[in-house]
A and B are shown apart, each in its own frame.
Chain A
């Protein structure tokens, strides 16, 4: 099903890249480069049922941008950021749709890395910045687990579990309500018949 996207024209696919980049004015305003690096996820020996991407680099002026693509909502995603020099701080933002749509963020605290976990369908973007600006070395890791299969609850159940209504029968509560209704109607008829009879007797 995912192959549908292959029928989309090149222009749209280029625009897909733009989705992971802000409008030109915003980019200039933020002083950030217009490009995002696509992270390629690959199997890592010893890490089962997942793919990963990772790198160690220095922050650029205005921050660094990355994108991860073609995800299923049932794939668990974890992103970890660590400042190589514990005296420095680096900040991580997770975006979707546009670079201004930040849905998760965290900052490192000394030697303690920061980590975010989520699930998403399609693409997401990452922005790494530092209050110190350019030249702060950091390590970024992305973990994407294999799609977890969600087994739907079983629909086909033994009749006793399907409920009386589903079997087309009458529940105990319904039977009781029915009996009460019939009794009330009978009582009303009886009262009405008695009143009419009494009037007839008085008239005669």
Chain B
């Protein structure tokens, strides 16, 4: 949620004016915070530890946990076996871009899923309040329409980001293919491996609703 939203919520009297800040954090809590941080950032603490120690709160959250699909199969690469020989063609850089794009696509998926769920719950509450109060029903209909239209804006934002990230994914795969060709003479790496992975990712992250 943004500062704007907090301000609006405050204005609607749903949030008490006495919003709390860290200046009031008692010393004992700061010490506790340091202890939690020490556990979290100790050597060797990894994502699996995090997922075990800090389990997802709700069933929806479990669905939001990052899940990086391996694709139809791993992408075999001679450059991956001898990355030093592929330095000149930017193999490591293309690989890093590919990984970063995968991460961003997964984040895009979960932010969208969470926003969609949030909007759905908001509409349900608005509907129930408008129905039970018996007043302001027409005003709610108007507001509901605005929310739905705004959510379409969110969907457009998703689609734009998806297009941008898929283009980035393709570029990374083509860069890897170029390396395989330049260094090892593998001329159809993209067609044999990259294309299938691209199609797989395209289908996985395309918005279904």
Contact = CB atoms under 8 A, between A and B. Distances in A.
A3 B150 CA distance: 13
B21 A157 contact: no
Interface in A61-112: 67, 69-70, 72-74, 76-78, 80, 82, 94, 96-98, 101, 103-104
25 contacts: A6-B5, A7-B157, A8-B151, A11-B126, A15-B122, A17-B8, A18-B14, A20-B14, A23-B129, A35-B16, A37-B16, A38-B10, A40-B19, A46-B30, A50-B36, A73-B61, A74-B66, A77-B54, A96-B60, A118-B55, A120-B56, A121-B114, A148-B47, A149-B103, A168-B192
A35 B29 contact: no
B203 interface: no
A162 interface: yes
A70 B2 contact: yes
A97 B57 CA distance: 11
A173 interface: no
Interface in B68-84: 68, 70-71, 73-81
B68 A152 contact: yes
A41 B151 CA distance: 28
Contacts, number: 305
B9 A121 contact: no
The prevalent SS among residues of B at the interface is helix
Contacts of A156: 74-75, 77, 79-80, 95, 98, 176
Interface in A106-149: 117-124, 139, 141, 143, 145, 148-149
The prevalent SS among residues of A at the interface is mixed
A94 B102 contact: no
A4 B154 contact: yes
Interface in A1-26: 1-21, 23-25
Contacts of A202: none
Nearest to A19: B121
Interface of A: 1-21, 23-25, 34-56, 67, 69-70, 72-74, 76-78, 80, 82, 94, 96-98, 101, 103-104, 117-124, 139, 141, 143, 145, 148-163, 165-168
Given A55-B20, A145-B40, 8 more contacts: A12-B119, A47-B37, A48-B37, A53-B20, A77-B54, A98-B121, A151-B99, A157-B76
A16 B114 CA distance: 13
Contacts of A98: 121
B187 interface: no
A166 B73 contact: yes
B24 interface: yes
Given A12-B150, A80-B29, A157-B80, A97 B58 contact: yes
Contacts of A72: 107
A161 B77 CA distance: 10
Which of B4, B98, B111, B151 has the largest number of chain A CB atoms within 10 A? B111
A35 B70 contact: no
Contacts of B60: 96, 121
